[in-house]
Structure formats: structure tokens, C-alpha cells
Structure 1
């Protein structure tokens, strides 16, 4: 199977091109694995303990779901390969050095970071610095 996306660490970091999405997002868990109607999660993951969703905070509240880790959502617009080595380590290090917590999700085309809303602009700046 051919590799899709960028694998070269220098090109990955140079091309991060972070974009900050509007709104605030939260993480919720659904032990019964039933996603409430009317919700549009941006991320869904199945774990032994239940289904994890990341969705807009307003949708979670409207559906009566208890969300944790209110977050800003940053997408890295470089098409990174799922086989790339070192990119997330470099990002995690840069954000840790800035004192910013981060939950990362890798999808087929892009990587997505969820950071505290009050540190979102700092996170974008740190990522741009990392890109050089």
C-alpha cells in the first residue's frame, strides 16, 4: 500500500500551517455508545469503556452531555502521513515548553490539536515558531 502524505520531518514542520477553528469544543463519553440526535461530533473514537466524542460545547450542553476539557480546535493543514515519525513529538515538546496542554488527534489527511481556549493563540504562535 502506498504511503500518502508527507513523511519528511523538516517539510512537515515547515508546512504545519495551523488554523484555529471558531468555537469551543468538549470531550464527552457515552457508555451506551448512542450518539444523541442533533449532535455533530468532529471526532468519534470507540474505547472499551464507551464512545468518546469531541463536539461543540453548545451541542453537548443542548444534548445534556457533561463535557470535559473545554478546548479550542487547531487543524494543522499539512497533509501528514500516518507513518510520519517525530512530528507529534516536536509539536508536543514545543507546546509543553510553552506550558500548553494539548490533546492531539490524527486523521487521514491532517492532525488536530485541542488546547485550552485561553491559550489557543499562544499555541498557534508556538506552532508557527516551530515551522520557522
Structure 2
């Protein structure tokens, strides 16, 4: 099986992230986004990874922008569920309760939502609402 250039870069970015080289991972994910032939789901997942890196560096506003970008890149795909789930959990940890609730509600409104994501979002909503 032959990998495409974007797949190769994506794997490199993940490896750099796992190795703790955030700067290399960030640059490599940006390289993935700069290519023309990258499918929407992969662009979305790259953006979600960038958001997570920003969050780890305490750059919350930038992280939220990247999560939103991830959703916009594949608004009806499963990768939007990944982005919204990560965003909701991040907002919850930041004690931004109302924003977390709204994010999980957005996640539940997606047309393509894996069952596991739906169950997790419903559980998070119940906890946030104190139910």
C-alpha cells in the first residue's frame, strides 16, 4: 500500500507530537494543511491536533479558533465530532461550563455522529447540567 505525501506528513506530525516535539509537530501539521490533495477529514483532524497543542501551551483562544476551524473543514463528517468533543472537554476543564454545554449540544446535532461519541456527549451534558 502506497502512502500519499499528506499521509506521510500526517504520520510524521503525530510522531513528533508523541515524542514531545510540539514545534516540529505544529510545523508538520501546517505542512499537511498547505497541500492541495488533503481530504476534508484529514484537514479537520490536523486542525484538531493543532488546537490541542495550543491548549497545552496555555494559548486557549488560539486553541478554540483551531477547534472551530476543524469543524468548519468537515462540518458533516465524523472528524467534526472529534473536534467538538475535544473542544467540549477542554472547555469543561477550563470551567467554562456554559460554553462546554453549548459545544456538546452542537456535537449532538451533527448529522454523522458515531454512537460512542453520542453517548459520551450525552454523559458529559448530564454531568454539566447536574443531572
Q: Pick the TM interval, shorter chain.
A: under 0.3
TM-score normalised by the chain length of structure 1: 0.25
Structure 2 length-normalised TM = 0.25
Q: Which structure ranks higher in relative contact order (CA pairs < 8 Å, sequence separation ≥ 6)?
A: 1
More strand by share: 1
